[in-house]
Amino acid sequence: MNLIAIDIGNTTIKVAFYLNDDEKLLKTAAGGSGEMESQLAEILTECWDQSPLVESAKEPVKECVLVASSVKPEWTELVRGVVKDELDQELLVIGTDVPLPIETGVDDALAVGTDRLCAAAAAYAVVEGAVVVADFGTAVTIDLVDEDGVFVGGTITPGFDLSLAAMHTRTARLPKVEMQRPLSAYGVNTEEAMRAGVYWGAVGLLEALCRKYAEQIGHWPQVILTGGAAKIIKEDCEFVDSWVSNLALRGIIIAYKKYIYENADIADRSAKGDKKKKS
């Protein structure tokens, strides 16, 4: 399958181009910059130019589809506009044009965030069993998928940068600090103390939640880390089984494949039903 997957987050827009299911390109447009729209147009055009043509078509037609997961509605419309203006194509959005990729046990599936559901679907597709998906981005989400592939829920806490920024803006003397792995478990100055508190607090939270989830399902689940900040923390999480940098993008492919396969199955059953009626 040829697909351009677009993960619209709170601070960045990630774009991956998959040719026959193999990732050929992965780039990020930085949010909040005046150049984000032009960056996005350049990235999408580069992906589209690499997309193959449909061999049997009389007119030149690209054999590729653009599918997005989004947690930021205003950026969804921006991306939709760029796709239309630059490529003359329609953008399919998960949760609107494409059904959610995983069954849920939550009160409102659409309120969860399609990025979390796509990441959960991708994780379960690999593990095929109970799995915890910890996404370290602008916010930290730690979600549980049960043995049957049902997204049962999770937790949301501030990410590293949000936590550090909150301490700086809501106190009189705590400085502005950039996140990096702390030198030790305790800080010998204010900056290191802030980093250590945020960092080790996140490690402890993840381990504690995995233990709580294990108590609920009866065994320790597989644990997968993802998100932009996951690479900072992964070395100190011995209980984590794997780190996948862009799990939500892979989940976008799963969501679209599930959608087209289910539609094909419905069409096939409908055709068989029509034949039975005629006979």
How many structural domains compose the chain? 2
CA-closest candidate to residue 62, choices 45, 81, 39, 40: 45
Q: Is residue 240 part of a domain?
A: yes
Type of residue found at 169: T
Task: Report residue 276's pLDDT band, with 50, 70 and 90 as the boundaries.
Answer: low
Taking 80 as the threshold, does the pLDDT of residue 267 lie above it?
A: no
Q: Are residues 143 and 223 in the same domain?
A: yes
- Residue 238's domain spans which residues? 110-250
CATH number where 39 lies: 3.30.420.40
**pLDDT tens-digit map of 49-77:** 999 998 776 778 899 999 999 999 999 99
- Average confidence (pLDDT) over 205-220: 96
Q: Is residue 198 part of a domain?
A: yes
Task: Report residue 140's pLDDT band, with 50, 70 and 90 as the boundaries.
Answer: very high
- Catalytic annotation, residues: 115
Q: Are residues 181 and 118 in the same domain?
A: yes
C-alpha to C-alpha distance for 71 and 270, rounded to whole angstroms: 35
Where b means 16+ CB within 10 Å and e means fewer, 200-236 reads: bebbeebbebbeebbeeeeeebbbbbbbbbbebbeeb
Q: Is residue 263 part of a domain?
A: no
Residue 279 confidence (pLDDT) = 57
Q: Is residue 100 part of a domain?
A: no
Q: How many helices (H) and strands (E) does the chain have?
A: 8, 11
**pLDDT tens-digit map of 91-128:** 999 999 999 999 999 999 999 999 999 999 999 999 99
Instruction: Name the residue with tokens 């399609």.
Output: 114
